[in-house]
Amino acid sequence: MQSTDSKMKRLVGPTIATLVPVIAFALAIHVYSNELLLTYMAIYVALAQGVNIMYGFTGYLPFGYFGFFGIGAYVSGLVMLDYNFPPVVAVVIGGLGGALVGAILLPLFRLRGAYFAIGTLAASEAIYTIVANPSLQSITNGPYGLNLANYYSSGMAYGSAIGLVAISIIAVSYVRGSRFGLTLKAIRDDPYSASMAGVNVPRQRFYAWLISAAIAGMAGSIFGWATSVFYPQAVFDSSLSVLAIVFALFGGIGSVWGPTIGAILLYSVYNAIGISNPQYFQLIYGVVIVLLVLFAPRGLLGFWNFIAQTLRSKRKKND
């Protein structure tokens, strides 16, 4: 009975962390009518959580994360166009496409640190070059992109994006609270020590990589569906990776709430600046990132924890 109670208690945090953003997105459409922008915001929340699984729990920075996103957009788009799959099913297939490419890129794990980051970037650029190649026009439509106008349904796409937010947060909550997450954190701290603790490092890292790639694949699928018409450079865009990484870092990696908060706040700022002061956009955004690195290197949640810990130890001293 006691263990059931403690299990229930353990579920409270992840449930709140999932429900709050899901309900917020569901209600936001009644307050702010730009559905496409909200869809993109939800997609970025999912992407930031995907980066969180990879970077926050294994320490591997996937600069080429956009490759899975682009593959997801193309795989789902093509199964809709060529096989007439329903969009929601196509989104799931897009996620599987992302995971499959993740499996193919597995040898990249022989690299570490900056070399891994650059390696994933190069691999994703290579995938883009292949997909956009005019000689593959009969399969991918080459540089002309895909037209999914016949499947356009902004409401369904938005609903799917919210669903993906829930899936990504549940995935992160599971990773964080599970033995799997514990072994990933051990790997992040020291892969060799982790292996001497019996951890099959390549396999555990591979699982994290697959989950992360599948989330990006589904995010790309929903992006393509919501955007309706897209060119390869729009879905194989390295700035997608940069933004997802910055959002995750801004909120605080390794946590459940951090990337959600980071993506919502920073994407709002990103769009607000872009609309109100487009001429200062790069400057203001750059300053925000510099301030983040200087004063909150562990993100907003890390900063919050630091302040809470300081106050707690001060209170202890006074007692």
Least distance to another protein, CB of residue 119, Å? 22
Q: Name the residue nearer to another protein (CB basis): 167 or 249.
A: 249
Least distance to another protein, CB of residue 153, Å? 43
Least distance to another protein, CB of residue 173, Å? 18
Q: Name the residue nearer to another protein (CB basis): 146 or 199.
A: 199
Least distance to another protein, CB of residue 303, Å? 17
Please answer whether residues 263 and 48 qualify as being in contact, where contact means their C-beta atoms are separated by less than 8 angstroms: yes
Q: Name the residue nearer to another protein (CB basis): 143 or 177.
A: 177
Binding site residues, another protein, CB under 8 A: 179, 182-183, 185-186, 188-190, 192-201, 254
Least distance to another protein, CB of residue 174, Å? 16
Q: Name the residue nearer to another protein (CB basis): 15 or 195.
A: 195
Q: Name the residue nearer to another protein (CB basis): 233 or 310.
A: 310
Question: Among 257, 300, 173, which Cα is nearest to 308's?
Answer: 300
Q: Please tell me the number of Cα atoms within 13 Å of 273 on its side-chain side.
A: 15
Please answer whether residues 53 and 215 qualify as being in contact, where contact means their C-beta atoms are separated by less than 8 angstroms: yes
Least distance to another protein, CB of residue 318, Å? 21
Q: Name the residue nearer to another protein (CB basis): 192 or 295.
A: 192
Q: Name the residue nearer to another protein (CB basis): 29 or 186.
A: 186
Q: Name the residue nearer to another protein (CB basis): 75 or 205.
A: 205
Least distance to another protein, CB of residue 147, Å? 47
Let me know the angle formed at the C-alpha of 124 by 119 and 127, rounded to the nearest 5 degrees: 130
Least distance to another protein, CB of residue 195, Å? 4
